[in-house]
Amino acid sequence: MTTKSKPVNEPGKVETIDQVVIRFAGDSGDGMQVTGDRFTDESALFGNDLSTFPNYPAEIRAPAGTLAGVSAFQIHISDHEILTPGDAPNVLVAMNPAALKANVNDLPTGGTLVINVDSFDERDLAKAGYEANPLKDGSLSAFRIYEIPMTSLTLEACKQTGAKPRDAERSKNFFALGLLSWLYHRPIVDTERWIVRRYGRSPIVAEANTLAFRAGYNFGETAEIFESSYEIAPAEHLPGTYTNVTGNVALAWGLLAAAHLAKLPLFLGSYPITPASDILHELSKHKKFGVRTLQAEDEIAGIGAALGAAFGGALGVTTTSGPGIDLKAETVGLAVSLELPLLIVDIQRGGPSTGLPTKTEQSDLLHAMFGRHGEAPVPIVAAKTPSHCFDAAIEAARIALKYRTPVYLLSDGYLANGSEPWRLPDVESLPDISVEFATEPNATGTDGEPAFWPFIRDPDTLARPWAVPGTPGLEHRIGGLEKQDGIGTVSYEPANHDVMVHARAAKIAGIAKGLPPVEADDPGGDARVLLLGWGSTYAAITAGVKRVRKAGKSVAQLHLVHLNPFPPNLGKVLRSYEAILVPEGNLGHLTRLVRSDFLVDAKVLSKVEGTPFRVGEIQQAILQEIEHLESSSAAGGQTTKEAAP
C-alpha cells in the first residue's frame, strides 16, 4: 500500500493512498468469492482501476476449517492504470485459522491482518495444523493486526431476523465486506440493493445479510480501532461506458457479437467443466439474441452437436477445459476434413488428467497445435486479458468463417475468473465478418447439367463454398473419408490425397497473409533483450517491462495473439534481438515453436504452480538476462542487435 501522506495515527482521520491489494480468505463455505465480487463491483462503480484474482479449491466439499478448503479472492484497486492483481496483498482478511495459515506467508512485513478472532478456538486451530494460537505466540509480530469478533457481532446484528444462529453465522462475510467498505470508502448503496435482488426470495436471508453488512460498516465507523480510513481516488479513464467484466463473460459476449456481425445464429454445444462452465451459463441467458445452448451428456456430444450446427449454417461453438480437449480431438479432425467453421474454446487449467481443476496453466498450446492424427492444421488465437477475450472471440470467428476451418481459441483460468474494467466498444467499429452461402451450382456435371462441387476453392482464401443443407440443387456429400478435389466424392487415390493434404495446409498457412505485421514495443530502439509472450502472461510481462525501464534499463516486448499461423514478419523481428525470453505457464510450448520455426535461441521462463506470474518474477528474469548480455559484452561477446543471428 503506497501512501501519499504520513500515517496520522488518530481515529477518524482519512489517509489518501494511490493503491491497495486486499485478499479475502476463508473457508470455501464462507462466501469469499461473493465478498470479493461485491467489493470489486463497489470499486468499479467508484471509478478505480482494478484487477482481480479469485482462487478457490477444487474439492467440492472439503472439510470445513482445513487448508484444503481455503478459498480466497484478491483485488488490486488504484487511482491509476494497473495491469495485475498484485504480487502480494497489503491487507489480508482471514476468517479462520486455515485461511491465515494458507495465506500469511504472502503478506509482506508491515502488512495488515484483519482477523475474525471468534474462529480461533482450539478446535479450528487444530484443524488448521496450529500447535499454538498464532495470535498469542508472537509469530505475527511483523504485521499490523486487528482482531475483530466478526461471528459474534454478526449473530448479535441478526438476532431481530429470527434466523437460527447457524444460519445467521453465514452472513459474517457481509460483516467483513461492510467493514472493508468503510475502511476504503466504498459506495455501499448498490451492495444493499444487490443483496435484496440476490436473496429476495428468502426475506430472512436478505435481511440478515443486510444487517450484517451494515453492522460491519458501522463497526468500522464507531469502534475507533483503526488508525485511519483510506481514500483511493478514481482512476482516469477514456470517455465511454464501462463495465466490470470477467474473461469468461467477455468471451461469451464476444461470441454473441461475432454471431451478430456474421449475421448467423449462434449455437453452443458444451459439457460443464471448470473453469469453462461460466460461458455456457452466460450464453444460456441470451436466447432473445438467437442463441441456442445445449448442455450435452459428454464432451464428444458437445462438439459433435456444434459441428452439426455449423453444417446447418450456424456459428458453431464448443467450450471446454483441460481433459475436454482430449475427448474432442477426433471431432476437431473431422471438422478439418469437412472444412467447416467451428470454434473450440479451451479455458486452460493445470494438468495432466484431472490435474488442478481450479488452477491456471498454459499447457494446452502444443495440444491445440498438434493434438490430432494425420495432417490436420488448425489456426490458434489466444486472448491476453479478461476484456481482450471479447476481441479474441470475434477474431477467432472471423478466421473460422472466412477460411472454413475449425479454430482454437485459448484462454485460461486466470483470465476466465479475473476481472477488470472494460470500455464498451463502438458497435460501428466492429468488423463485418458476414459470409455468403452458396446458392447456385458452381460447376458442370459429366452430363452437361449444372452441378455443385463442394471442394472448389476460392482462389484467395482456398476456402470451399458453404452450402446450407436443403438448398435446391446443392446436395453434396460430407464425412471423414477423403474427398476428391473439387467434386467431393469419396476418393482413395494417393495423388488426390496428396493434393488435398497440401491444399488444407496451404489454406491455414495463407491466413498469415491477412494478419497485421507485428512490431515490438522497443521505445528507444536499443534493447538487446526481447520479452515474447502469449495469453495471460501479458499483464505480468507488461508490468515487469515497465519496472525495468523505470530503473533505466532497455528491454523490448512483443505479445502474440495469433499462434498458428504466426504473423508474417515474426521471424524477422525475433532475429533482431540478441536474447529472447519467453515467460510461459508451461514447460516451453511457444519457446519450442519459435525455436523450430525461426532458428532463434529463445529461452523459456517457466512457471507451472497453478498461479500466474508475479511482476517481480518477470522483473528479476529480465534483469538477469540483461546482466548476462552485459557481462558477455565486457568479455568480448556480441554488443549490437545487428550481431545477433
Of 464, 455, 442, nearest to 485 by C-alpha is 455
Q: How sure is the predictor about 550, in pLDDT bands with cuts at 50, 70 and 90?
A: very high
What pLDDT score does 639 carry? Answer: 47
Q: Is the pLDDT reported for residue 495 higher than 80?
A: yes
Task: Indicate the SS3 state at residue 118.
Answer: helix
User: CA 419 to CA 53: how far, in whole Å?
Assistant: 8
**Inter-axis angle of helices 203-222 and 150-157, nearest 10:** 120
Predicted pLDDT at 152: 97
User: Max alpha carbon distance in the chain (Å)?
Assistant: 96
Which residue, 352, 283, 289, is CA-closest to 321? 352
Is residue 641 over pLDDT 70?
Answer: no
Least confident of 1-5, 153-157, 218-222, 509-513: 1-5
Average pLDDT over residues 510-521: 97
Convert the pLDDT of each residue in 33-80 to its tens digit: 999 999 999 999 999 999 999 999 988 778 889 999 999 999 999 999
The percentage of the chain sitting over the pLDDT mark of 70, rounded to a whole number, equals 97
Closest-CA residue to 334 (of 351, 322, 319, 316): 316
pLDDT at 5: 36
Joined together, the cell numbers standing for residue 274 give 471448470
Segment 270-285 mean pLDDT: 97
Residues 387 and 245 sit within 8 Å (Cβ to Cβ): yes
How confident is the model at residue 446, as a pLDDT? Answer: 86
Measured CA distances, 464 to 317, 468, 490 (Å): 20, 13, 16
Instruction: For the beta carbon of residue 126, count every other beta carbon within 10 angstroms.
Output: 12
Q: What is the pLDDT of residues 97-135, one digit of tens each?
A: 999 999 999 999 999 999 999 999 999 999 999 999 999
Q: Amino acid identity of 609?
A: E
Q: What is the band of 419 on the pLDDT scale with cuts at 50, 70, 90?
A: very high
**Percent over 90 (pLDDT), the chain:** 93
Judge whether residue 588 has pLDDT over 90.
yes
Q: Name the DSSP class of 521.
A: B
Per-residue pLDDT of 444-471, as tens digits, reads: 988 999 999 999 999 999 999 999 999 9
Q: What is the mean pLDDT of the chain?
A: 95
- C-alpha of 64 from chain center: 29
Q: Cis omega before residue 565 (within 30°)?
A: yes
**Helical pair 538-550 and 615-634, crossing angle rounded to 10 deg:** 50
Q: How confident is the model at residue 9 (pLDDT cuts 50, 70, 90)?
A: very low
Give the predicted TM-score (pTM) of the model.
Answer: 0.94
DSSP secondary structure code for residue 486 in this structure: B
Taking residues 592-611, report their average pLDDT.
Answer: 97
Mean pLDDT of 19-40: 96
Q: What is the mean pLDDT of residues 542-561?
A: 98
Rounded mean pLDDT of 358-377? 97
Distance CA 641, CA 644 (A): 5
Q: What CA–CA distances, in Å, run from 313 to 12, 228, 301, 433?
A: 64, 61, 19, 14
Strand 562-564 relative to strand 315-320, pairing: unpaired
